[in-house]
Structure 1
C-alpha cells in the first residue's frame, strides 16, 4: 500500500516533521525554510506524505537535483499511500502514516505550504526540553493579498503588512483573543507532541466524519488534553501563510462541523473527556499494544482497513454543504467586538478623504505622457481611466485594511480593561482611531504628535509633549501605518515600556 520515493529516516532525530499532500501542492517553499534552521540538520527529519498515487513533480525535481549534485535530499522520507483519485482524501490516514514512520521523540504536524522562521525547530526542541507533558501549538499568520501568488518568497514584514487578516501589535490575533480562541486560533496550522503520547491515545481518528477538509490534528490535541497533557500555544513562534487558489477547501468534501469548520466529532471527543479515537488504525493498535515494533514493515499494510475504502469513494462521501450540520454561522469577531454597519457608514468621509490625498500624491508622482493627435490622446485617456480604476480599487482595499487594524487595536485595548488611551501620532491613523473610539467604552484623552511643534489641541483632544507622554500611565497606541520600528525606538528612548504600547501592525 505504501511506496517510497525517498526513504532515508534519521534514526537519531529529536523531531520528526510530518507534512501532508493530497496532489494539491503547487509550491514546496516550506522545504527551503526548513533547510535553513538554526539547529543541526541531524536533529530533525522531514517526512513528506502523499495520499494519492502520483508523486508531485515539483518535489521530484528537487529530489533529482539533490541527487545529481550529491547533496542531501530536501526530505528524508517521501511516502505515497498510493490511493486512486476515486477516493476522497482522508488526511488522518496521513497523520497515522507519519506517526508510524517517525523516528523522532517529538512528532510535529505542520501546514505544508507555510513559511517558518529559522528558529522553528529549535523552539520545538526547547519547549519539550522544559515542558514534556504538553502538546504544543503554533498559530498561523495569514495574508490574503493575491500578489504573493505564485509564491515569491515575501519578507515577513510584507506578510504581516497589507492583506494580513489576523495580525495586531506584533502577534497573531488568535494569541491575544480571549473572546473565542477556539475559532480565532488556527488549530490546523502546527502541532507537536511526544510520539509515545500520540500512540497512547490511538493516533488520528479514522472515523468517516473526518473525510475531506473538516479534519485536523486538533482532534488529537484535544484527546491529548483529556489524556492529561496540557495544551500550550507558543507566544513567540508562529507560521506564516500567503494566499493561493483553493486554500479554503470550499469545493472539497466536508464532514459535519459547528458552522465554523471545526469538526463536531472532534468537539464531541473534547467535551466527553474521550481519549481513544472512535475508529483506530490497526497499525496504531499494534504500536499501542506493543504487538509490533516501530521497524516492522507490516505496519504500513495495517494503516487502513480495506473495508473502509468503499466508504471513502467520492460518490459515497458527502459533498461540502450537503449535511444539515454544515450550515455556516457568523464568526465571532476578534476580541468579541464587531463594528456596526452604521459605524462603517460614518467612516466613509474619512476613507474618501484618505483616498483623495493618496490620489493627489499619485498624480504628482506620475509622469503623464502628452501624446499628440486625436488617436494618441484617445489611447492616453483610456490608459488613464484603466489606471485610475485599478488605483482606486487598490487604495480602497488598502484603507479598509488599515481601518480594520485601528479597530483591532482599540478592541485589544478594551479587552485589556483600558478605559483611557493616548495616541502617539497625528495622521490618518489617529483620525481613524478617534472616530472608531466613539463606538467602544474607551476614551482617547490625549494625542502626542511626532513633530516637536504642536497645537494646543489635536482632533479635539489634549495635545501632549513627549515628556508628558512619558509620564502618562495610560495605554499608548502607536498611530502610524509605516516606520513603526523607528517610532517604537523613540518611545523606548522616552523610557516607555513596550508592554504599554499597542502597534497597528
Structure 2
C-alpha cells in the first residue's frame, strides 16, 4: 500500500521554466519530509537536466512526465498532479515562487480548524529594477511588493477531495497555452461549492522577476466568459475535467457567446497587424 501524506505540492511545467529554486524552498520546510511530497508535472517528454538533478536530492520529490505534444495546456498537468497525489491537503503554487521555511506547517494549521477551507496566499513581486540572479529570500522580502490582491494562480491550498468534487481544472481548449485564468476558474467553482475562502494575512509568496512576469493574452477574454457563466449559474464542475463522466455540458447560449467573442478577438488581432504593417 502506498504511503499517505499530510500534504502534496503540485508544480507544473511545459518545458519553459529556466529556474527551479522553488523545489529547494518547498523541500526545506519545518514540516518533516516524510509528511509531504512534491510532484513536478511536465507536459512534454523531456525535463531540464538541472531539474532532474535537483529532484533527485529529495526522497519525497518526483517528476511525472505526460509526454504530450502540441500547445501546452497547464490544466492537464494540474489534473495529473491531483490524480497522482497522496496527500490529504494539496498545495498548487506557481512553480517559481519563494516561501519561508514554515510555510507548509503554518498553512496546514489553518486546515486543522476548518475542514471546508480553500486557502490562498498573496504574491509579492520583485520588479526588474531590483532583480538579482541570486534567489535570496531575505532580498525578496525587502524588495518585493504586492502588485495584485487577487492572484488566484499564486498558490491554492485545499483538500484533495474538494478538487475532485469540482472535477479538477478545466481542460477545455479555451484554457490552453501558458497564459490562462484557470486559477480564477477553480476559485469560482470552489466558491460555488460552498467552501470557505481565506486569504492568509501573513504567509506570503515571493516572486522573482523574469521576462513575461506580467502579461495578458486575448484568450483571457474567452476564459472570463466561461468563468462568468460558472459564477452566474452557480456551477461547480469543469466542462472537461479529471473525470469525463462528471463533465458539465456547455450550453448553446455560452457557445454562441464564445463564438462571438472569438470573432471580435480575431478582428482585433487583424487590425493590430495592419497597424504594425503600416507603421502606425
Output the TM-score relative to the length of structure 2: 0.81
Deviation at 1:161, TM superposition (A): 3.9
Matched, 1:187 2:172: no
Partner residue of 2:45? 53
- 5+ residue gaps, structure 1, are 1-8, 67-71, 167-172, 175-183, 290-317, 326-505
Pairwise CA distance, 1:159? 2.3
8 Å CA contact retained: 1:99, 1:195: yes
Structure 1 residue 10 displacement after superposition: 7.0
TM-score where L is the length of structure 1: 0.46
Task: Tell me the number of residue pairs that the alignment of Structure 1 and Structure 2 aligns.
Answer: 253
Give the direction of change, closer, same or farther, for the CA distance of 1:323–1:79 in structure 2 (3 Å limit).
farther
Please show how residues 9-48 of structure 1 align to structure 2 within 5 Å. Answer: 11-48=3-40
State the partner residue of 2:61.
76
Contact 1:211 1:254 in 2 (8 A): no
Tell me the SS of whatever aligns to 1:47. strand
Q: 1:209 aligns with which of 150, 165, 174?
A: 174
SS in 2 for 1:112: coil
Residues 1:159 and 2:140 are matched in the alignment: yes
Equivalent residue for 1:263, pick from 219, 224, 227 = 224
| Secondary structure in structure 2 of the residue aligned to 1:52 | coil
1:117 alignment partner, SS class: coil
Shift of 1:254: 4.7
Matches within 5 A, 1:5-404: 11-63=3-55, 66=57, 72-73=58-59, 76-84=61-69, 87-150=70-133, 152-156=134-138, 158-162=139-143, 164-166=144-146, 184-212=149-177, 213-249=179-215, 254-257=218-221, 263-281=224-242, 284-285=243-244, 322=266
Give the direction of change, closer, same or farther, for the CA distance of 1:109–1:155 in structure 2 (3 Å limit): closer
Q: CA RMSD in A?
A: 2.7
Deviation of the 1:277 alpha carbon: 1.1
**Rg larger for:** 1
> Distance in 2 between the 1:159 and 1:131 partners?
31
Using the alignment, how far apart are the partners of 1:215 and 1:58 within structure 2?
A: 29
Gap regions ≥5 residues in structure 2:
248-261, 270-280
Give the SS at the match of 1:14. strand
TM-superposed CA distance for 1:141, in Å, is 0.5
Residue 149 of structure 1: how far off its partner (Å): 4.4
| d(CA) in 2 for partners of 1:153, 1:17 | 20
